[in-house]
Chains A and B, each alone.
Chain A
Amino acid sequence: MSELLTLDEVDRDGAIRETMDAIADDSRAGFLKKSMLATGGIVGGGALLAAMASPAQAATANDVSILNFALTLEYLEAEFYTEAVAMGALSGEVLDFARIVAQHERAHVAFLKKALGTAAVPKPSFNFRGTTENQAKFKATAQVLEDTGVKAYAGQAPLIDSNAILAAALSIHSIEARHASWIRHINGVPPAPNAFDPAATKQRILAAVAATKFITGTPAMTASGGSPAFTG
């Protein structure tokens, strides 16, 4: 058995598939089913999927804000791992880690974007400043990002209004914690150093993200007005 549980391994009696089929006429539910199947790994049960079928429709402004905060962090993580795999600087267990986590983070992005619908914040541009292009820098950065992600979800969980959204957030939170333990193990540091993890506020997390300078502006490659000076 692979380290990741597949839908077939978890859903031996077909209960999850039945649940998803029952709600498949809902577009978000259809997306959830597709995204879970497409990623090859599964993190929750059918009841959770049903509960999160259309969170943004009933979400409070507070919950939309929290989901968008989570989406921003997931954009960053997904892009970081995807780019790290593409750059070709990783090898061995680090590359295996990056490939699988990239898949998870892209699934988180897809999940949150679909849940938020038109309320989703757009993806920013990123400059990872060489941390995706060197294995040692990647390992150190990945640990910081995962530890930060765990603290971020823990900090927001008590503030979430909807139980359905809370359940979904917790299902992502535990995966981020697994990522954190995994990269900590790779880095040779204690995977679970404490009995209790401290949470962090949104402000602290955003300050930490800003300090990385990973989120940047998009190159301004269009202009209007004036007159071109091309050779004509």
Chain B
Amino acid sequence: MAVPALLALAFVVFVAVAYGQEPQAPGAGAVVLPAIPAASGESAASALAGSETVGPQPLSNPNGVSRFMAVLEPVDARAQPGGARIVARLSTRTPEGTTNVVLALARVEREGKLWIKVRLPVLPNNTTGWIRRESLGGYNTVNTHLVVSTRTLTATLYRFRKAVFSARVGIGQSRWPTPTGRFYIRNKLTRYSSPVYGPLAFGTSARSAVLTDWPAGGFVGIHGTNQPRLIPGRISHGCIRLRNADILRLAQLMPPGTPLTIV
């Protein structure tokens, strides 16, 4: 199998495992991607409702429809539905002042109470937890998925499985690496004063595992730049930098709430 095919297969397996799906076996010389649910309506509904188990029902599929929810009140996320161990404490606002949202991964009913499994904007990265349904707002849906490759220094936006945007990026230097794993886009910021971030910045749930004393917690952004000549490269403190024209183009296509995978 050629190297590109192996890399593609590795990515598919990574995403499938990351989102709790069984990776599908490839056929001879081919990479078989997971099935894609439709954007909305009954087809997507049927796809999500397909599993009639008593276990958690999936709420997000990075190849199809994903759901995010607002945090309505300060709340603890727990390791299990109804469990005692607290894995994170969430507030209703982000450091940037926007509504704090979480990516909804699954839902389950335990002893008459609904619990939502969510991806959390905390360290260690890739942490998930369970939150009582009533502490969260309504379901908001997106059908996009941003994938950033730290190997090829490329950001690719998918709508379902179709690539609709691609651009070269700058990522963290080796001493301040961009974290890898599964995250989501928390917000979109514009008209700020700092030229370092270019004209537009997305906040993500990813955090630097190194710069833990960075102001506001060391969250990784995806933003423009005032040094476009350094892109592509390993140039940042962990943020993902795009040329300004590219970040503006991405902003037209990617809504906040979009799942983010960094590989």
Contacts and interface: CB of A to CB of B under 8 A. Distances in A.
A6 interface: no
Contacts of B114: 130, 133-134
Contact of B45 (A85, A218, A224): A85
Interface string A80-95: 0011011111110000
B171 to A, nearest CB: 11
Contacts of B96: 223, 226, 228-229
Interface residues of B, number: 60
Contacts of B220: 230-231
Contacts of B140: 125, 218-219
Interface stretch (A28-36, A99-107, A144-152, A153-161): A99-107
Contacts of A129: 133-134
Given A85-B49, A88-B49, A222 B42 contact: no
Interface in A193-232: 216, 218-232
Interface string A21-43: 00000000000000000000000
Nearest to B192: A227
A127 interface: yes
A85 to B, nearest CB: 4
Nearest to B178: A231
A125 B101 CA distance: 15
Given A89-B57, A127-B138, A230-B223, A223 B189 contact: yes
A214 to B, nearest CB: 8
Interface residues of A, number: 37
B111 interface: no
A82 B45 contact: yes
Interface string B222-252: 0100000000000011110000000000000
A184 to B, nearest CB: 24
Nearest first, the 3 closest Cβ-Cβ pairs linking A and B are A230-B221, A127-B138, A88-B49
28 contacts: A82-B41, A83-B139, A85-B45, A88-B48, A88-B49, A88-B50, A89-B109, A91-B52, A102-B42, A129-B133, A129-B134, A130-B134, A133-B133, A134-B114, A219-B140, A220-B99, A222-B187, A223-B97, A225-B192, A226-B96, A228-B197, A228-B201, A230-B219, A230-B221, A231-B172, A231-B220, A232-B221, A232-B237
